[in-house]
Structure 1
């Protein structure tokens, strides 16, 4: 095993479809043993990137390496990767064990050995004893784990997952994403995961690559992207932030004094200088208090609308920041429209957006 086994690299990769350029120039490194998520809205190029890595699309220009080897022009079956598709792609007429063993047998392995390896893969994903069932006899989550077992049994350098949870309901998505993450960490496999779901990406990833119009908008850990967005696009896309106007009053070292809606905050300066700026303000970064009941130092506003959602209340609030979206998880009784409120800014969830001063 070499040090580069499982490493992935894109070098100046470009992909066009006729006159349309889907990927203008992608250079990206993925460390071995990490789960890296390609995240972005529809049409951002994330699936095209995954398909080029899988060998299902050929780049127009550039180079793709897996484990240090140039695979740019290799067919899919010679790339040492396995893919879990959105649709699972299980053979409905084959038993679970036959589905998992199919790739091994197609590659020339004797049936007895392939079935043994399939049983081991099913045990790995928590499906021991289900080899004799048909896919239709399994739940959606079980079918997804069969698809993962079928990919893992080939012992690939890289596991590719294309929107793997999109066919599951919300509760099952949480369960299966946890299973996939725990499995990936347990076996130390490099995984490239594509999704448009921000919460899913935050939950499973070592690193998130946010893409926009075929380009990398920001790369970082889930915490880095959530707490330190590099642009208003990232702030709005990761975690639904309010992007509001403010002013940097002064900067001393790495700390800026910032005016926001009539109050002054101390924030990491992130390279900003005094002047107008934009600020990422998370929906849960504000504590809502009825005006006159607090210390009177918060941002003034008026409730425009409210919604009770069980464990929290959602508000739209008008004021000096125009209309903003606020989540209050400390109250179970919504304030009525027209209520005057003061908004206390919490320490977390507020950040200057670089390059906007």
Structure 2
């Protein structure tokens, strides 16, 4: 199977349905051989964007290019993309090999060659020797891999994945998302992946494009979005975060000294200026100390034991904080008075 990775470009794309505008002036680029995830809550426009790329919808204005070619008004069958659907869309009466070979045979490839390529496709996704099984004889994860193989054997410039793991249970989702990422890195195909699951996006992506209300809220690598959120929305959507008010006391080079409820802490400056601001504080970045220490005071209002950690809510004068504490050997009961401290990582000034 050859690599045929192409780039994707949206230039000032707008999509309206009657008086409702689903996508506002969208511009983005996906580099060849990368996996880019469109992430966002329901109704943000991510699926509409994917459907326009697939040719299932056409933009109201703007241009879409694949591999440098303008495909804005081309039908789906002329775009050199393949799509893996949420439902997998396998033919139940065909075995795995026939499902994978179907698109090849439909495009005119001789049956023998089509089946050879289909066997290779199944081997690539770890299903060698399972071509004779019907979809009903496969697990959910195996069905998903058949759908990926069926798309890959067509050697598209771009592979589109629309919520591909939503039908799997949590443990299987973790395993299959790892398999998708390893396969993409090994074969170096271009992929555009749609999900509303933040953990999934962090695990599989080279770049994440977070969408909100038909626009790009922020884009960057998983680490950039997690460690340097551009807004309270991003801070809370990419992993949970406590968004708390702070006072930037001093900025020196790349570091800023901030005060939270009287507790001073040094964080990356990110262009901040002295004055009122907001901090994104990850639940795992908060420490709970005995009430008499120098950190600012709080009171445990809720505690939930989850095996390898305990989730707490703590009431403070600045509001309720959500805390993840790995110290399961010393649980704190609701009503316990504590002092809130901060670790060195997992805290960021929210860009203004």
Provide TM-score, normalisation by structure 2: 0.97
1:315 aligns with 2:312: yes
Alignment of 1:1-357 (within 5 A): 5-292=5-292, 296-355=293-352
- Deviation, structure 1 residue 321: 2.4
1:311·1:332 contact (CA, 8 Å) conserved in 2? no
Deviations 1:192-212 (A, max 9, x none): 000000000000101000000
Deviations 1:59-91 (A, max 9, x none): 111100000000111111111110000000000
Deviations 1:117-156 (A, max 9, x none): 0000000000011111110000000000000000001001
Q: 265-274 or 200-209, which moves further after superposition? A: 265-274
Q: Distance in 2 between matches of 1:272 and 1:177?
A: 37
C-alpha root-mean-square deviation of aligned residues, in Å? 1.2
Aligned to 2:27, the other structure's residue is in SS state strand
- Deviation, structure 1 residue 290: 2.8
Unaligned runs of 5+ in 1: none
Structure 1 moving runs of 4+ over 6 Å: none
- Deviation, structure 1 residue 5: 4.9
Deviations 1:209-245 (A, max 9, x none): 0000010000111110000000010001111101011
Q: Distance in 2 between matches of 1:354 and 1:134?
A: 52
1:47·1:194 contact (CA, 8 Å) conserved in 2? yes
Aligned to 1:143, the other structure's residue is in SS state helix
Q: Distance in 2 between matches of 1:108 and 1:332?
A: 65
Q: Distance in 1 between matches of 2:331 and 2:265?
A: 28
- Deviation, structure 1 residue 297: 2.1
2:5·2:158 contact (CA, 8 Å) conserved in 1? no
Aligned length: 350
Q: Distance in 2 between matches of 1:84 and 1:31?
A: 20
Q: Distance in 2 between matches of 1:290 and 1:305?
A: 17
Unaligned runs of 5+ in 2: none
- Deviation, structure 1 residue 331: 2.5
2:5·2:156 contact (CA, 8 Å) conserved in 1? no
Provide TM-score, normalisation by structure 1: 0.96
